Amino acid sequence: MASGDKTEHDNVKMAINRLPDNIIVIAASGNVPDCDRVTFPAWMPRVMCIFATTAGNKSSSALNPPPLRRGYNFAILGEAVQPNGNWDGPRSGTSYAAAIAAGFAGILLQFSWQPLSEGEHDPLNLEGHEKMKLIFEALSMDYRDRDYDCVCPAHLLLVISDGLRKQEQRQRIRSYLSSVILIQRR
């Protein structure tokens, strides 16, 4: 959800709370100076609130409202985003960060749904708010900036080594993601 509001909407709140556990809701936190606090529905516990980072994976003081006092304050690229040459210049906002976070979550889910390779025994299940939150937490652990948990998708590349075949790289990433889910849930 790229939009937010300072006012809570009962219908939206009810719809989000009724979603099955395997559905992930990602929402923009809201942009400064328009927002002096996180907007609705991003502040809901069932929603992954997303703040913006710079290209250097530092929290964007120009865009982010103050962080939430509970849980995680995930941030991902949202400042000076230019996805293709057809735009008349870069765009910035937590709404762009929310779209990038949703796209990254989608890629992780698609990766987890791939058929098992020879030698792999356990399916990888990343579905659901809690599991995706664990993955985002692990990918931001070493990248905290002020009170924001800056998600670094490239951190996944640190678990693979040069010279590995694609299948071995895939198995290492699957193993890493599985271990994040198993270790954090204990």
Q: List, in sequence order, every residue forming a beta bridge with 145; answer none if it has no partner.
A: 148
CB atoms within 10 A of CB 173: 17
83 cis-preceded (ω within 30 degrees of 0): no
Which residues, 6 or more positions from 171, have their beta carbon under 8 angstroms from its beta carbon? 117, 119, 120
- Burial (Cβ within 10 Å: 0-12, 13-18, ≥19) of residue 148: buried
The per-residue pLDDT for 186 is 46
CB atoms within 10 A of CB 89: 6
How far is residue 157's CA from residue 134's CA, in Å, rounded to a whole number?
Answer: 18
> Per DSSP, what are the bridge partners of residue 50?
28, 74
What's the CA gap between 97 and 65, in Å, rounded?
13
Lay out the sheet containing 25-28: strands in order across: 25-28, 47-53, 74-77, 148-150, 144-145
Tokens standing for residue 87: 């735009």
Helix axes 94-113, 166-185, angle to 10 degrees: 110
- Cα–Cα distance for residue pair 186/170, rounded to 1 Å: 25
Query: Six-digit token pair at 110?
Result: 């698609």
pLDDT of residue 157: 85
Q: Please, what CATH class does the domain formed by 10-153 belong to? A: alpha beta
First to last CA, the chain: 31
Q: Is residue 151 within 8 Å of 103, Cβ to Cβ?
A: no
From first to last of its 186 residues, the chain has per-residue pLDDT tens of 988 888 899 999 999 999 998 999 999 999 877 788 999 999 999 999 999 999 999 999 999 999 998 889 999 999 999 877 777 888 999 999 999 999 999 999 999 998 877 766 778 889 999 999 999 999 999 999 999 999 999 999 888 877 888 888 888 899 899 999 987 554
